[in-house]
Each structure stands twice: as structure tokens, then as C-alpha cells.
Amino acid sequence: MMGRAPIAATGWVLLAILAVVPFVTLLGEMFFPGGELSFASLGTVLDEEREWELFANTLGLGVGSAAGALFLGVTCACVVARSQSSLAKLVRSLLVVPLLIPPLVHAIAWTTASELRGPAAMVVVLSLAYFPMVAVLTTASLESIDRRQEEAALLAGGERARVRLALRLAAPSALSGAVAVFVFAVSDFAVPDYLSTVGTKVNVYANEIFTRWQREGDSGGAIAAALPPAALAALAMAGLSVFRRRGGSVTISSAGFQTPLPLAIGRWRVVAVGGVILTFLLSCVIPIACLLYTAGSVSVIQEALSQARGEVLRSMGCAAAAAALATVVAFVVCWSTIRRGVVGERAVEVIALLPMALPAIALGVGLIRTWNRPGPASWVYDGPAIVVAAFAARFLVFAHTSAIAGLAAQSPDLEDSARIAGVSPWRRMWSIAAPVAAPSIASAALLVFLFSMRELDAIVLIPQGNRSVLFRIYNAIHFNRPQFVAALSLVLVFLTAAPWLLWRVALGRRMELPQ
């Protein structure tokens, strides 16, 4: 049987290949073009008025989207977590549904239904597409507050004190979701690119990376253009980490837990519940209705599925493989480091965050430069493995966070006893640690699958990525095929939602986002 060291080494090697090697390749491409040290590419970062415009547009898109998602998400969470309304409970069960619709599909639907264009359209689309990340995390926190804590606050300072307590306890979760929205927004390529083709052109860094790489052949300049949004993402995540360490997060005891009290919103109840339902309509029902109206008939949807059958199967296969790869790697590495020192755990956390901090389109460039070379590397680049690697790397942080949460629930005494009894590390990992962490790992695998199905930016520059469903939709937009685009978008949404429906209905589980 394999010992602990070989198991850990295998996990670390795969982690490095997925998350570190593309990043190092990008740095080498920027600082050592042609094999000689050069800082010329850095001269294209914020050195002229246009670069500052890119920075302002990208920052505005990130802040606006995060603020919009924070407002919608916290509002929805407060109502669905603390309202006794049956409608609010129904929305609670469907809260994650808008997240199943790719942001590009949101944009297609809303430009079909309205004259919304320009920067405002980008912010609205990304806020509606990503607010469930805030809502789900905040709802879980609000539902986890013990009634006794709130009753103590109520006695000490009245209803306002109780509300302040609830918001304080939920703040880390809400901010985690908002930071995630910010990170996705500052790296988004598809939505700004699409909205610029149907309305006023608005340049952001993701579009600049695409242009410099695809049209100008300037690899160093493309990578340099990725530095500002990567820095913004890193600063946002670092700020959240500092906030948590300094006491923003409050531990809530689960001993003798009592369900929290409902909110006393009185006459505002109808308005609050109505606002939540309106948000759900805007973020889910109306976009789907617009796509159905544009597609026109079931036969058009069937024809679109028939034409894109190969892309459908390939996308689902790559997403499933990426989910398996990311969760297995994250589990093995976390198992090998947990309870063995803070340094190792922090190192894994930073490495897992690297692909998320990078703009997705820059990650694609890094993968191209890593694997597009003669020899064994070409086996990866010339097949679907390169797409699997892009998805797995991009969403590795979800698998890592879930693996940590799942393994933390296990008592160390179980493995210690098995080790003393002579049980091999391999068997301890799969027979003791894996079953305990299985629910968290399964949830992470589902999340990686869902996000992979809706991911375009990381693979838009990769030739093998051109054979995905979302790229087929993106390509059809430029050939003015609205019916086909709407029909195939509906197919994609259904295929993305199907595993979630199985998880929700057949298994009776909610999909919770890792914090």
C-alpha cells in the first residue's frame, strides 16, 4: 500500500501543475521574453491615459457588481431566513437558481428584453447573475444564530440591538460572497465583450488581454494587462482575510441550538417578500422567459440540441472530469496538511486562490504557454485535458474550502487509533477521512461542475475550448443567429441545472457555497 508521503507528494504535484505552473509560466513570459530579462512589458501597465481608463472601468465594474449583489443578497437573505411566509420559503429553496444561468446568457436575455446597455448593463447583469453567492452564504449564517443570543440582545437593547447582532454575525459570510462577486466581475470577459457589440463599447482589462494576445500577438503585453485586475482581486481577498482574523467572524455554538426568532417587520412584510420575489423574477424567470420567446418553439430547441450535440457531450464530460480532479486533488492535499502546521495549510490556501485571483482569460494564456509545446505536453494541449485543467484550476478554491471544512469535522482520534493499529495511510484516508468529508466534497464537486458548465473566459483562447457549448453560443452571437443562441442557451441552462435538481429533489440536499 502507498505510504503517506507518496500520497501527499502526488497531491502536491498535481496541485502545482494545476495552479502554480501556469502562473510561473506567465511570469516567465513577461519578464524573460526570448530568454533574456526584460521589464518592457511592465511599461504598458498604467503608463498612459487609456490604461487608467481600463483601470477605472474594471474597478467600477467590480465595485458596482459587488455592491449590487451585496444589497440584493443581504436583503433576500434577511427575508427568506427569518420570514414565516410560505412564498419566502419557496424562494429559499430556489435561491441558487440564478447562479445556474451563465452571466453571458443573462446578458443575452436582458438585451433582448430591454434597451439596457453600457456600464450600467454590465453591473446589473453581473449583480443579478452573482447575488445568490451573497444570499446563500448570508442565509446560512442568519439561520445558524442561536435564539438565546438574540434574546439576550433583545433584552439589552431592543429590536435594533437584535438586528445589529444578526447583521454582525452574518457580515463575514455576506462579505465573503461580495468579495467573490468582485473577483469574478473584475476578470469577466464575456459580458463586457458581448455588451460592447450591441451597445456602447466599454473596455475593461479582460478585453485588453484578449486583444493583445489574439489580435496583436503581444504575449508580454497581454500578461501585463492581467496584473491590475489580479492585484485588485488579491487585495480584496487579503482584506477579507484580515477582517476575519481580527474578529469579524464570530463563532456560534451549536450546543443545544435553538432556532432563531423571525424578523418583526410588521407592515413591511408584504413589501419585503414582494421585493425578494421581484429579485427572483428579474434574475431567473424573466431571462428564461425571454429566451423561450426568442427561441419560438420546442422544435427550434430540439434542432439546436441536435446541431450542438457534440459540444454538449464534450462540455458535460469536461465539467464532470474537472469536478472530479479538483475535489480529489484538494482532498488529498488538505488531508496531508491539516493538523500538521499552519504554514502548510496557508500555503495550500494561497496556491488554491492563485487561479481565482488571475483573470480567467489570463489563466487560459498561461495554460496555452505551458502546454502548447512539442513532446508529451502536446498530448494535453491537443485534447480535452487542457479544458479539464482550465476548469479544475479555476475553481480549485471551492474544492479546497469544502475539503478543509469536511476534514475539520473529523476527530483526530479516529486516524490516530487506526495508525496505532497499523492501518496503512491509504486505507486511513479513504476509509476514515473520506467518508466524514464526503458530503462537503460532493457539494464541492457539484459546485465545480456547475461553474465549469458556465465558464467561457478561461477557455475562449484555447482551441480545444472552442468545442464547448458556451463557445458555440458566443460564436453564434457574432453570426446573428438569435433563435439558435436562445435555444442553445436554454439547453445549457437545463444541463447545468439538472445535477442541482437531482441533488435538491432526489437527495433532499441544499447546495451550500463554501466560505
82-96, 259-273, 361-375: lowest mean pLDDT where?
A: 259-273
Q: Are residues 283 and 169 in the same domain?
A: yes
8 Å CB contact between 62 and 185: yes
pLDDT tens digits, residue range 104-137? 999 999 888 888 888 899 999 999 999 999 988 8
What's the structural domain count of the chain?
Answer: 2
Does 289 lie in the same domain as 345? no
Please count the residues of the chain: 515
**For a pLDDT cut of 70, what percent of the chain falls above it?**
81
pLDDT in tens, 171-186: 888 898 999 999 999 9
What is 61-104 written as a DSSP string? HHHHHHHHHHHHHHHHHHHHHH---HHHHHHHHTTTGGGGS-HH
The predicted model gives 220-249 an average pLDDT of 79
Q: What is the domain-level CATH number for residue 85? A: 1.10.3720.10
* pLDDT at residue 360 in the model: 93
- Average pLDDT (475-496) is 89
End position of a domain, from candidates 295, 326, 358:
295
At which of 231, 265, 295 does a domain end?
A: 295
Question: How far apart are the C-alpha atoms of 289 and 490, rounded to whole Å?
Answer: 10
pLDDT of residue 107: 92
Domain with 289, as residue range(s), is 61-204+247-295
- For residues 121 and 253, state if they share a domain: yes
Residue 333: pLDDT band by 50, 70, 90 thresholds? confident
Task: Kindly give the residue spans of alpha helices, DSSP state H, lying in 218-297.
Answer: 219-243, 269-280, 286-295
Nearest-angstrom CA–CA distance, 79 and 309? 41
Looking at the structure, do residues 350 and 372 belong to the same domain, yes or no? yes
CA–CA separation, 277 and 185 (whole Å): 25
- 26 with 70, same domain: the answer is no
Q: Are residue 140 and residue 16 in the same domain, yes or no?
A: no
Are 457 and 448 contacting, i.e. CB atoms less than 8 angstroms apart? Answer: no
Instruction: Calculate the average pLDDT of the chain.
Output: 82
The predicted pLDDT at position 251 comes to: 45
pLDDT at position 320 = 95
What pLDDT, in 10s, does the model give residues 178-223?
A: 999 999 999 999 999 999 888 788 889 999 899 888 876 777 778 8
Residue 321 lies in a domain: yes
Closest by Cα among 220, 222, 233 to 28: 220
Same domain, 23 and 74: no
- Which of 195-204, 412-421, 431-440 is predicted least confidently? 412-421
Render pLDDT for 6-41 as a digit per residue (tens, 0 to 9).
777 888 889 999 999 998 888 887 777 766 666 666
- Judged by average pLDDT, the poorest of 49-53, 180-184, 280-284 is 49-53
Cβ-Cβ contacts under 8 Å for 322 (sequence gap 6 or more): 387, 388, 389, 390, 391, 392, 395, 448, 449, 452
322 in the same domain as 197: no
Same domain for 193 and 333? Answer: no
439 and 339 inside one domain: yes
